[in-house]
Amino acid sequence: MDSPSRSLFWTGFVLAGLGAVLFSAKAVVAKLLYRYGVDALDVIGFRMLLAFPFFAVIAWTQALRARRGLIQRLGWRDGLRITVLGFIGYYLSSFLDFLGLQYVTAGLERLILFLAPTFVLLISAWFLRKPIALRQWVAMALAYGGVALVFWGDLSASGDHVVLGAGFVLAAAFSYALYLIGSGELVERVTATRLTAYAMTVSTLVTMVHFFIVKGWAGLDQSWPVYGLSMIHATVNTVLPTFMIMWSVARIGAPLTAQLGLLGPVSILFLAWLFLGEPITTLQVAGTVLVAIAAVILGRRKSVPVVRMPSPAGSEAGSVRMPDGTVR
């Protein structure tokens, strides 16, 4: 490997690892926000409101390119599907996730979200009649076993409200699995960049409608720490890692980027301990290891879909379905 290639590789390597950590750290920021008396609607509302300008600019740029004939125009059916996917994948799933974070630890939340790929397998097998291989059954058993270990530890330490919180996060993972299944064919034609920008824009509009109906303009009257943490949530934990993962795929490819995504559930244990004081227990470590092994097994499936998206230089590079189920 020559010097330029080595530099390109390590740049992509660092971008993938850091992007995975930043994505996972959103749970820590959400838990910090809850200390200021806000609720789940406040958390998602401020996150989407502050992230909206970034994704709106990208969406407008993509629409302008389509108008000039540089990329394919979208029909009304595609627009309708993007609207539905934006509602399910970036509004409903996020809202349920933040509801759950009011009751469970950040570490358990991240592990439950890693069950999304197993939901994709089960839904595909049930409705699309796609067979599940033996190694996939083994992976699902490991994943659910790992989550059960951490859940049992949280239940013993925090009480019955953990069941409610885990249920919300589980519903979030299921909702996102539906988003992944629905976006499969569309993302190949639209590209991950355009689909993400459009879906995030739709999600922001839905979130703002929900926010202002419930809270009105008075909902914006929050303390400066809430605004500061929300800005970190919107930029450092949402916009920035989205592009870091995209740039990483362009440099080191989809498979390695996906494997480095396993740093997410591992890093959240230490971040939650450092910033939230959540203990690192033996059950948490064991459960995280099992879920990580399951993600590796699922990530090496021959049938993993690969889609295309533009690299920063404008050439085509593969998008990736991450171990936690996200398409980045």
Looking at residue 1, its pLDDT comes to 57
Task: Please indicate, yes or no, if residue 163 is contained in any of the structural domains.
Answer: yes
Q: Is residue 325 part of a domain?
A: no
Which residue matches tokens 């239940």? Answer: 155
Q: Identify the H or E element spanning 69.
A: none
Say if 203 falls within a structural domain.
yes
pLDDT of residue 309: 34
CB 289 within 8 A of CB 259: no
Is 115 part of a structural domain of the chain?
Answer: yes
Residue 328 forms part of a structural domain: no
Count of structural domains, the chain? 1
Residue 222 lies in a domain: yes
Residue pLDDT tens, the chain, 328 long:
556 677 888 888 889 889 989 998 999 999 999 999 999 999 999 999 999 999 999 999 999 998 888 888 888 888 999 999 999 988 999 999 999 999 998 988 988 988 887 888 888 888 877 888 888 888 889 888 988 888 887 776 666 688 899 999 999 999 988 988 888 778 777 877 888 889 989 999 999 999 999 999 999 999 999 999 999 999 999 999 988 887 887 788 766 776 777 788 888 989 999 999 988 888 888 988 888 888 778 766 444 444 333 333 333 333 444 444 444 4
- Eight-state DSSP code of residue 324: T
Q: State if pTM tops 0.75.
A: yes
Q: What is the pLDDT of residue 307?
A: 37
| 243 falls within a domain | yes
Which helix (DSSP H) or strand (DSSP E) does residue 235 occupy? none
User: Which domain covers residue 265, as residue numbers?
Assistant: 3-318
In angstroms, the CA 263 to CA 87 distance is: 28
Cβ neighbours of residue 201 closer than 8 Å, sequence gap 6 or more: 52, 55, 56, 59, 86
| Token representation of residue 226 | 């809430």
SS3 318: strand
Q: Is residue 323 part of a domain?
A: no
CB 309 within 8 A of CB 247: no
Distance CA 147, CA 190 (A): 34
* Cα dihedral 106→109→114→120 (10° resolution): -160
Task: Find the Cα–Cα–Cα–Cα dihedral 231, 233, 234, 235, rounded to 10°.
Answer: 80
DSSP character at residue 327: B
